[in-house]
Structures are given as structure tokens and as C-alpha cells.
Amino acid sequence: MRSRPVRRLTILFVALATAASITAYFIQTRSTWAGTDPVWPTSSDSFRPSTPAGKLILDSSTGLPAVAPMTMNFVRTPDTGGPDGKGRFLIAVNSGYGIVTSSKTKPQQTLSVIDLAAAEPSVVQTIYFPAPQSANFGLVFDPVLQPDGRYRFYVAGGYENKIWIMGLDPRAAKPVTPANKSDERVSAPFIDVTAFAENAPSPNYNDNIAAVYPTGIALAPDGETLYSANNLGDSLGVISDLRDTRKIERVGLRRSGSKQFIYPYDVKALSFGKRVTKVYVSLWGDGSIAVIKPGLKNRVTHIAVGRHPTAMIFNKAQSRLIVVNSDSDSVSVIDTRSDRVVETINVRLAEKAQNGASPEGLALSGDEERLFVANAHINAVAVVEFESTPTPRKPSKLLGFVPTGSYASAVAVVGNRIFVANGKGTGMDNSSQTINDSGRYPNMPNEQFPAQSYNKRGMYSAAIVSGNISLVTIPDERRLFAYSQAVMRNEGLLGREKRSIFPDGRSPFKHVIYVMRENRTYDQVFGDLMSSGDGTRADGDPSVAIFGAGESARSPSGEAQNITPNARSS
């Protein structure tokens, strides 16, 4: 199993495993939906519903919803073949645990190439990165057209400390080269960035691979200098003379005297003409944006933002850097001239709500009047009336929410349509002819993953829960109101009766410590419980309760076990 950056790409990828399992109750019989109006459950339903807007992007080779396991980024191509005179293709970087197509292959991250010029946008090509190969968040195009009619682009290779070099021919039926099949490794050239490591490799850390793990990448306008945010290396990597001798330089990003891990993630290069004047890097563990000025011996300063800053975008003029803060449920807007935060936008469902929306991605509309923010933990995209020069009398304003599938992880805008990444899909039903990602029997032997394969316990949960991509027309005021009502209802803020398992409604507990079972479903953990704490009959499946006390929890030698007695006590 491949190593992952510890926070956003692993732990948050699975934080909604239980919710996804429950969501399946409502939509497990549907592989697509055609309408855009929310449909809610009846009052007798006690599960958490999912009412995603829009329709699913299809795979052109199957006619079924395209599989996109945890899309973390969308990047549009630099050609002019699209319907609006801009790029013809939108590339989704799918950086989750990875799908597994059979017991003979390992988890695979992917690139999904979406043709925007088609009558209905669809995935026309998929590039597979079987572990330990990876495609991790970062993708950037060289805007200069090559003599052979192709565009060069770079993909962050994460775990293997690589930056892949690939090509795109917008005239070709399969535009990305080199192409591969689902059971083949990527054979593209790459740049080895192991030299950016601060410490030597250790067998006790990251499988003896030097701790670099490039994630976000950016390119100078002339295509000669590449910048990489090194997630496990706490550094910015600078690769100059990119087309020739490739000189490299490491810039440490920790504050002076600090030994704290800061986990750089995204990177953006601010340019004046063809010259890069500043480089911005989001630091998960520091709650700040590092600012590097190449002309001043790479001097590093920090801009305090919210907790866990993640994805970033510029406006067209590059006068504003917009940062999503995943653990603060907010967006920070930075003036790139003064490097000061000029506005913080709350994207929670309610102003005084507790943290937990977990915004992951963001995008501006073409006219830059709307900002769209993917809120993973509430299965919604926030719609913000964006003010690039906000004032106390005229700040940016949260307008409403668009319901999505499970774990909205990224968002892009093309014309009047929103592309939404449902990182964990729209239920647990099969969404492809190629793989079976139903998730109904995770870790249990089955025909596709027999007991003799893959650690002798069937397939790992994270590899059989697949994501997909929705296409939604930007809603008008009336539809946005209906969408917002749907999100509020889905989250239990409307139409739900408050209930307590305690007779007087007051909890005797002051603190609750919950130990997360990473990448596990409700049925795996609580499937053999007969009822909830208030006596309501539970709807679990004991046959997959591997953390329970029944048959599925027996040891490999057949001995009875009670795996999680504390979590199951009444």
C-alpha cells in the first residue's frame, strides 16, 4: 500500500465513510440521475440523504458514469478548441487512494480527460497510475505550443518523488500521451525531485523513500522554471533551465527556529510579464501562506490565514490570491500587492455553526462575480457573490449552496456550468463496466477479489469506493434557494425533529474521544448492532462487521474476537 501525505489526502478522504454508506440507502439503485431538482426522503426516513444536483459526466467508451476516485484538481488545457474559444479539455486529477480494477492490479490514481467540445461533456481518455506511481493534485501546462502541435504538461508524482512530463495534442481522439491501459504502468519521462529532501531516506519512514512528495506545482510564464510544493519535505522546490540542464534549488519554508512539520500543498507563481515576482505556497500545518521572492535570495515571509489552508487560485489580474481554509470553513482573500488578508469569507451552512464544512476546492466564474467553494463534509458547493475590492458596506456575500454527491472535493467553472467532483461518489452502486466499486462487501472475499488475494481479506474499502463528476448549470436565484433548502434538509437543519438518547435531553458527558477507523464503513464497524442507544432498530449488515464480535470478526485462525467492545457498549 502506498504512503500518503498524512492529512488531507488520506484522513479526510475517509472521514465520511459512514455517511457514504448511509447515503447508499437512498440511491443505491440508481447509477445516474437526469433531473436537477432535489428530491428529499419522506419524514419516516431516518438516514442522511443525498440529493445531488445536475447530472453525471459519462465515460464515452462505456456510456456510463465516469469513475473519478477523489478528484482534487481540475485544470483546463491551453488550446482554443473549446466552445468558448478557450481550452477544449478539462483534466481531472484523481488523487484518492485509487481504484482497483482486479485482484491483479494495485490501487490506481488517474487523470480523466473531459472533452468540453462534445455535445455533452464526457471523459474521452483516462491515464492510470498504478501504485507506487501516483498523480497527486498538481498539474500545470506549458502554454507554448511545441513544433509537433502538442502542449507539454507536468503532473506531480507524489509518492515516488517524480514530476511527470506528458503531452497533449488537442487534435487527437486520445489527446494525452503517453497513453496506457488500466493494467499498465505510465511510461512517461519524469523529473526526479528526491534532491529536495531535507533528510536521508529511512526504512522507518515513507517505505525508505526520501520524504519529498511533490503535490502542487506551478510554472513560470516562459516555461523555463517549475515550482513544486513538497508536502513531506517542508520546502519549495525550484527547477530552472527546465528544457536544458535543469538546475535545482530547495527553499525551506519553516519559520526561523521551528521544527514543526508544515506540509506545503499548493503553489502559485505571481508574474509580471515573463518574470516571476513572488511564489505563494499554502502550508497545511502552519495556518499560513509562505511568500517567496525569487529576486531577494528566496527570502520567505508568512501571511496568517485560517487553519489548514489548501487550494488557491488567482483572479485574472492576479491582484487577489484566494485561499480555501479547510479546518476553518473559510476563504481568505489576499491582496498580492500588500500581501495582506483583505477579507475572510465564512462558507458554513450557518453563521454560528460549528466547524466541519471542510472546504477543499474553489473556482471563480468567468466574470469573477461568483466564487464557488467545494465543501466536502456537507456535500455542497457554496456560492459566493465575490467582491475583489470588498468594503465594510459591500463585502463578499454567501448566496447559497448547491447539493452534491458525497465529499465535494474540487470544483471548476466553464461558461455557465459547474463541474463538481464528488470525491466519494453518489452512492455505493457500481458506476462502471470496468470495475465493481459497489462497496457492499468491503474486505470480504468475493469473485473479483478472492480470499487468496490482497492480504487474504478481499478488497480494501478505500479502493472500492469510487468518485465521479457532476455537471450543474449555474443556478439562478430561485433555483439556488431550492438547492440551499435541499442542503439544509440533507444536513438535518430543516424538517428534522430533535431527539436525544437521554431522558432529560442533557448529556452527562463532558468529553467524548472518538477513535477513527480509517477507510471503514458503518457496517464494518457497527453492522452487528441490533439497535441504537435510544432503542431504534439498526439497519446494519452483520456479515461484514469485521470490527464487531460475530463471525466476521474472527481471527484468521478462526478464534472468536470482540474487536471494539468500548465503541459498542451501551
Handedness of CA 212, 215, 218, 224 (dihedral sign): positive
Q: Verify that 426 and 455 share a domain, yes or no.
A: yes
CB 226 within 8 A of CB 154: yes
Count: domains in the chain: 3
Express each pLDDT in 486-500 by its tens digit: 999 998 888 777 777
* Residue 8, pLDDT score: 37
Q: Verify that 107 and 159 share a domain, yes or no.
A: yes
Q: Verify that 367 and 437 share a domain, yes or no.
A: yes
Q: Verify that 541 and 418 share a domain, yes or no.
A: no
User: What's the average model confidence in pLDDT over 279-302?
Assistant: 93
Q: Verify that 294 and 309 share a domain, yes or no.
A: no
User: What's the average model confidence in pLDDT over 7-22?
Assistant: 34
**Is position 507 within any domain?**
no
Q: Verify that 295 and 361 share a domain, yes or no.
A: no
**Is position 52 within any domain?**
no
Q: Verify that 466 and 333 share a domain, yes or no.
A: yes
The CATH code of the domain that includes 407 is: 2.130.10
- How many percent of the chain have pLDDT more than 70? 83
Q: Verify that 34 and 121 share a domain, yes or no.
A: yes
Residue 350: pLDDT band (50, 70, 90) is confident
Q: Verify that 136 and 210 share a domain, yes or no.
A: no
Task: Identify the domain boundary among 272, 289, 304.
Answer: 304
Among candidate residues 365, 353, 467, the one with its CA nearest the CA of residue 68: 467
pLDDT at 6 > cutoff 70: no
**Is position 87 within any domain?**
yes
Q: Verify that 294 and 330 share a domain, yes or no.
A: no
Segment (H or E) for 298: none
Express each pLDDT in 362-399 by its tens digit: 999 999 999 999 999 999 999 999 999 999 999 999 99
pLDDT at 20 > cutoff 90: no
Count how many residues are written for the chain: 570
81/300 Cα distance (integer angstroms): 40
Instruction: Convert 455-510 into a string of H (helix), E (strand) and C (coil).
Output: HHCCCCHHHHCCCEEEEEECCCHHHHHHHHHHHHHHCCCCCCCCCCCCCCCCCCCC
Instruction: Convert 501-551 into a string of H (helix), E (strand) and C (coil).
Output: CCCCCCCCCCCCCCCCCCCCCHHHHHCCCCECCCCCECCCCHHHCCCCCCH
**Is position 249 within any domain?**
yes
> How much is the mean pLDDT over the chain?
84
User: What's the average model confidence in pLDDT over 246-264?
Assistant: 93
388/313 Cα distance (integer angstroms): 13
Range of the domain at 186: 7-47+58-192+305-490
* Buried/exposed 122-160: b ≥16 CB within 10 Å, e otherwise: bbbbbbbbbbbbbbbbbbbbbeeeeeeebbbbbbbbbbb
141/22 Cα distance (integer angstroms): 39
Q: Verify that 288 and 183 share a domain, yes or no.
A: no
The CATH code of the domain that includes 208 is: 2.130.10.10
* CA separation, residue 339 to residues 56, 314, 318 (Å): 39, 13, 12
- Which residues on neighbouring strands pair with residue 139, listed in sequence order? 155
User: How far is CA 117 from its chain centroid?
Assistant: 25
Placement of cell 517505505 in the chain: 207
Q: Verify that 254 and 311 share a domain, yes or no.
A: no
Select the more confidently predicted residue: 7 or 451: 451
Express each pLDDT in 442-474 by its tens digit: 445 555 555 554 444 455 666 666 789 999 999
**Is position 531 within any domain?**
yes
53/155 Cα distance (integer angstroms): 30
* Residue 453, pLDDT score: 46
Which residues fall within 8 angstroms of residue 479, CB to CB, at 6 or more apart? 36
Select the more confidently predicted residue: 349 or 41: 349
pLDDT at 5 > cutoff 50: no
Express each pLDDT in 395-434 by its tens digit: 999 999 999 999 999 999 999 999 999 998 886 443 332 3
Express each pLDDT in 182-201 by its tens digit: 878 999 999 999 999 988 88
**Is position 513 within any domain?**
no
DSSP 326-370: TTTTEEEEEETTTTEEEEEEE-SSSTTPPS---EEEEEE-TTSSE
User: What's the average model confidence in pLDDT over 294-320?
Assistant: 94
Express each pLDDT in 230-254 by its tens digit: 999 999 999 999 988 999 999 999 9
**Is position 224 within any domain?**
yes
**Is position 508 within any domain?**
no
Which residues fall within 8 angstroms of residue 155, CB to CB, at 6 or more apart? 93, 111, 135, 138, 139, 163, 164, 166, 217
Task: Identify the domain boundary among 304, 331, 366.
Answer: 304
